[in-house]
Amino acid sequence: MSEIPWWGLPLVAVVFALLGAGLAVLFQARDRFARARAARTERWYSERRDAYVALLAQFERSAARLRLALDSGQPMPASHLYLDETGPALMRVRLLASGPVRSAVMAVHLLLEKVYAPSVTPPPGVDSAKAVREMLGHVPLVMQELEAAVREELEIRLTPPPALPEEPPGRSLRLPSRKPKEPVES
């Protein structure tokens, strides 16, 4: 007869079952935390990306409206129209953006606000329309700085990621690609 008590084996089984259940709960909690963190990161990127795209599009529309008015000889759009259209997108970006992006956004905004101003004061001897065109010519340059700041914040690269290294022929888990057989010449 063995010296192990009759209740020893069930006790060991219960201990290991509780240990296994505890580890399962621990791994589930870790997985939930990792998924929540990934979701927060994705939301962070998508909120900022959407806000930046909306504001950049609004800046482009405003500049295009000014160019169209200047080219067609129509009166300049009212400044309150620019502020009403750009204000919501601008506030959203100001709340979400980092310092460099916010500074670049404000540079573009102030330049467009100055162009939309009812009385642009040109230097002496320069036509008002020419001064507006010149300031409007600076908008794309300032917007380039904004785009560069956005790319840096969102870590957007201009080049695609490098290709995956090829595996040695005998070690691949992928099925070999089938090449069409070349016709035999007779």
pLDDT means per 10 residues, the chain with 186 residues, are 81 94 95 93 91 94 90 84 91 92 94 80 68 85 92 87 73 58 60
> What pLDDT, on the 0 to 100 scale, is given for residue 182?
63
Residue 113 contacts residue 86 (beta carbons within 8 Å): no
Q: Which domain holds residue 130?
A: 14-156
Tokens 């959407």 sit on residue? 50
Domain assignment present for 164: no
Domain assignment present for 79: yes
Q: What 3-state class would DSSP assign to 123?
A: coil
> What pLDDT, on the 0 to 100 scale, is given for residue 121?
62
User: pTM for this one?
Assistant: 0.68
**Measured between alpha carbons, how far is residue 14 from residues 4, 27, 149 in Å?**
16, 20, 59
Domain assignment present for 183: no
Tokens of 12: 């060991």
Domain assignment present for 181: no
- Half-sphere exposure (CA, 13 Å, Cβ side) for 59? 28
> What pLDDT, on the 0 to 100 scale, is given for residue 174?
57
Closest residue by Cα to residue 85 from 103, 109, 66, 58? 58
Domain assignment present for 6: no
> What pLDDT, on the 0 to 100 scale, is given for residue 146?
92
Domain assignment present for 173: no
- Give CA–CA dist 23/17, Å, rounded: 10
Return the CATH number at 152: 1.20.120
> What pLDDT, on the 0 to 100 scale, is given for residue 49?
92
> How many domains does the chain divide into?
1
Other C-beta atoms closer than 10 Å to the C-beta of 171 total 6
Tokens of 139: 């908008």
Domain assignment present for 43: yes
Domain assignment present for 179: no
> What pLDDT, on the 0 to 100 scale, is given for residue 59?
94
- Give CA–CA dist 180/174, Å, rounded: 18
